[in-house]
Amino acid sequence: MNKLIYMDNHATTPVDNRVLDAMLPYFTEKFGNPASRQHKYGWVAEEAVESSRNLIAKFLNADAKEIYFTSGATESNNLALKGIAESHASKGRHIITCATEHKSVIDTCRRLEKSGYRVTYLPVDEFGIIDLENLKKAISTETILVSIMTANNEIGTIQDMSEIGNICKQNEILFHTDATQAVGKMNLNLKKMNVDLVSFSGHKIYGPKGIGVLYVHDRKPKTRLEPQMDGGGHERGLRSGTLNVPAIVGLAQALKLCYEEMEEEQIRVANFRDKMQNAFFSRLDDVYLNGHPTKRISNNLNMSFMYAEDSAIMMSMKEIAVSSGSACSTAQPQPSHVLKALGLSEDRRHSAIRFGLGRFNTEEEVDYVIDRVIEAVKSLRNLSPIYQKKVSKNN
């Protein structure tokens, strides 16, 4: 195979051509500013934004007025956490989150700690699941927000959203979830989920980069949220700044395609994932699955290939784009805090590869990747004195 193979769809996805086609007119002939209320250019842009908002709301079973556009999940997470913290400080200054959250949640919490908030980082079990009893125990009269991601970006593990939502509701605490890796892959019904705030990004669902959503449940009493961007009062005062119309149109179109094709696509992708997993388990010894074996999103496969360094595996198959640790979550590569939170040994963490399957992967690519990974792992193990010693001991 003399082309590159992309299997890093948790980091980002290519824009689907059908999404691009929908976006293009909004760069050129329909370039207006939706805030220009006095002329047709503005009206056309505003109509595109509002029909996109309606479409997004329809698929997520939300109301259009609950959808706020941001620049991406990082901004949505910052706005949710800082916005709630600042507007609820008089009620309490305690936030509960989880050790395996994306850095845009963890580092936001760290900053809030510096300004006097207390944050509980719930531990996870070996599969990446939080213990609901621990969550209940952590809640105090000071707790204002629980933020737990729907699906993890490294290991794909899905948390029990409805139970967490129920616990928060019973305790009258706001519940935020970073659903960046789940939106478009699972049928999220926000009205039924007991969730108050939800973040996600366009570029993980075959839409453009630089656009995201924060859903804020329109409840009584109203969820108060301190804006983090001051300016022209766009997005009903919550997020100032001229709206990115082509990207908004793209995000809505991308979500629509995900929903229309979800059933077929998720089955296809999960079959590819299972084929890879089964091949690695049956053709190699000393391999481990990282994350939950069943409670996981369909496109994630995170495996450790003991006695072979993750970076060395990747270097020996440069035509294949996969990821080790958390390359997508940070611009400064660091050892994975997620794999560490699972309690995995150092060897297991340093031999972990994340395969992120996606819409455009083919069976031919999957077969090729299986063979190349096995070949790479075997040849690295041949060079590993520790592995050789282990093999000769067993013989």
Tell me which residues are annotated as active site.
328
CB atoms < 10 A from the CB of 169, how many? Answer: 14
Task: Select from 34, 72, 227, 358 the one that contacts ligand PMP (CB under 6 A).
Answer: 72
Q: Does 97 bind ligand PMP (CB under 6 A)?
A: no
For ligand PMP, the closer of residues 32 and 202 by Cβ is 202
Q: Does 8 bind ligand PMP (CB under 6 A)?
A: no
Measured over all CA atoms, what is the biggest interatomic distance in the chain, rounded to whole angstroms? 82
Task: Select from 22, 44, 57, 73 the one that contacts ligand PMP (CB under 6 A).
Answer: 73
Using CB atoms within 10 Å of the CB of residue 84, give its burial: 0 to 12 exposed, 13 to 18 middle, 19+ buried: buried
**What Rg, from alpha-carbon coordinates, does the chain have?**
22
**How far is Cα 377 from Cα 310, in angstroms, rounded to an integer?**
9
- According to CB under 6 A, which residues from 37 to 66 bind ligand PMP? none
Using CB atoms within 10 Å of the CB of residue 378, give its burial: 0 to 12 exposed, 13 to 18 middle, 19+ buried: middle
For ligand PMP, the closer of residues 180 and 290 by Cβ is 180
- According to CB under 6 A, which residues from 119 to 158 bind ligand PMP? 149, 153
Query: Could you tell me which residues are beta bridge partners of residue 96?
Result: 120, 146
What's the min distance (Å) between Cβ of 305 and ligand PMP? 23
Q: Position of tokens 């999103």?
A: 297
What's the min distance (Å) between Cβ of 141 and ligand PMP? 30
Q: Does 184 bind ligand PMP (CB under 6 A)?
A: no
For ligand PMP, the closer of residues 4 and 331 by Cβ is 331
User: DSSP 3-state helix, strand, coil percentages of the chain (rounded to 5)?
Assistant: 45, 15, 40
**95, 149, 186, 253 from 17: Cα distances, Å:** 41, 29, 22, 11
Q: Does 180 bind ligand PMP (CB under 6 A)?
A: yes
What's the min distance (Å) between Cβ of 223 and ligand PMP? 21
Task: Select from 13, 97, 104, 336 the one that contacts ligand PMP (CB under 6 A).
Answer: 104
Task: Select from 88, 93, 94, 102 the one that contacts ligand PMP (CB under 6 A).
Answer: 102
Q: Does 178 bind ligand PMP (CB under 6 A)?
A: yes
What's the min distance (Å) between Cβ of 142 and ligand PMP? 26
DSSP string, 339-353: HHHTT--HHHHTTEE
**How far is Cα 303 from Cα 294, in angstroms, rounded to an integer?**
14
Q: Does 81 bind ligand PMP (CB under 6 A)?
A: no
For ligand PMP, the closer of residues 183 and 306 by Cβ is 183
Is 310 in a helix, a strand, or coil?
A: helix
Is 180 in a helix, a strand, or coil?
A: coil
**Segment near ligand PMP (CB under 6 A), from 68-76, 221-229, 235-243, 378-386?**
68-76
Q: Does 161 bind ligand PMP (CB under 6 A)?
A: no
For ligand PMP, the closer of residues 203 and 273 by Cβ is 203
* N-to-C CA span, the chain: 36
DSSP H helical segments within the chain, as ranges?
17-23, 40-60, 73-88, 103-114, 132-138, 161-170, 245-283, 310-315, 337-341, 346-349, 363-382, 385-394
Q: Does 16 bind ligand PMP (CB under 6 A)?
A: no
Q: Which residues bind ligand PMP (CB under 6 A)?
A: 72-74, 102, 104, 149, 153, 178, 180-181, 201, 203, 212, 328-329
